[in-house]
Structures are given as structure tokens and as C-alpha cells.
Amino acid sequence: MKRFIVIPLTLASSLLLASSSADEQAIAKGNQASALLVQKLGGELKIQMQSNSALGALNFCSQNALTLTEQVAKETKTSMKRLSLKNRNPLNAPTPQEAALLNRWETLAKNGEPLPPHELVNVSDTAAVYYKPILINNEACLKCHGNVEGELAKAIRAAYPDDKATGYKMGDLRGMIAVEMAR
């Protein structure tokens, strides 16, 4: 009888370790891909802000942010998107499942609880989606996402007639990066 108990436990342990290892690899790949996107997009926005003001950053985003996200996804062999409940571009609207995750994170933030650094959702045996919160953690973000007025507000409305991405404060949850990958 001992053999029958030991074999299933050993098999279960092996499966758990394999799953844990696959999850760790997916988390590492999601971290790497999302960090690269933040580095490239943030770096370019910083350059635009310094040389062309917030209007330059807005023009860059409206013309290049989706393409840059696709380029980083291609480099990292993933599928990526930036999502928000208060999206500026309708293409960055979350699915109902992603909206549920963002709402859960919003509730945590409103209750003063820390957000998880990431979440991993296994969508199948061969694919996973890594989600990383995007926080307003730089004063420069507020130039386009805070209380925007004047010429910049007009330019945002012209580029994004259905914009919902203003009114943020430092520390607010802006949205998330979703990285879908093969396992």
C-alpha cells in the first residue's frame, strides 16, 4: 500500500514543480518584455517632452505608441498591449476579464493596500498572460494624464475624441501591460 501512496505523491510533486518552473519562466519573460516596453516608450516620451514639450509627447504617442508596442512584442516573441479602464485610445480598452482584474487592483489601491507586482493567468497548457500594473509614478506623466488644460487639452481632444485618460494623481493606477506568451 505504501507504493501506491508514494507514487501518486511523487507524480503530483513532479507536476507541481514543472508547473511552478513554467510559471517562473513565464513571469521572467513577462517581466523582461514589460520592462523593455516601459524603457523604450518611456525613453522616447522623455526625449519628446524635453525637446518638444507635452505636445510633442502627445504627437509621438498618437502616432507611434501602438507600433512601438508591436515592435517590442516582436522582439520578445510575445503579444503585448497596454490597457486601461480610462483609456485614451479605444484600442487600449480591456476585455471584460482584464477589466475585472483592473477593478480588483483599483479596489486594492483605494483601500490603501499594495498592488501585486504582476499576475500570471494560465489561459491554456501552452499559453499564459502576464499582467503588470502601470502606475503614475513620475510627474512628467501628469502633464498629459493629470488635470490637463489649454492647448494640450485641445490637442488631446482632437487626437482622441473619446479620451478618458486624464484626472490622474501621483500614485494612481493608470492601467496595465498585458504580455501573452507561449509556454
d(CA 93, CA 159): 16
Q: What does the pLDDT read at residue 11?
A: 37
Taking 50 as the pLDDT cut, the residues of the chain under it are 1-18
Q: What does the pLDDT read at residue 19?
A: 58
pLDDT, tens only, 82-93:
999 999 999 999
pLDDT, tens only, 46-64:
999 888 899 999 999 999 9
Q: What does the pLDDT read at residue 176?
A: 98
> Model-level pTM?
0.86
d(CA 69, CA 72): 5
DSSP string computed for 75-118: HHTSEEEEE-TT-SSGGGPPPHHHHHHHHHHHHHHHTTPPPPS-
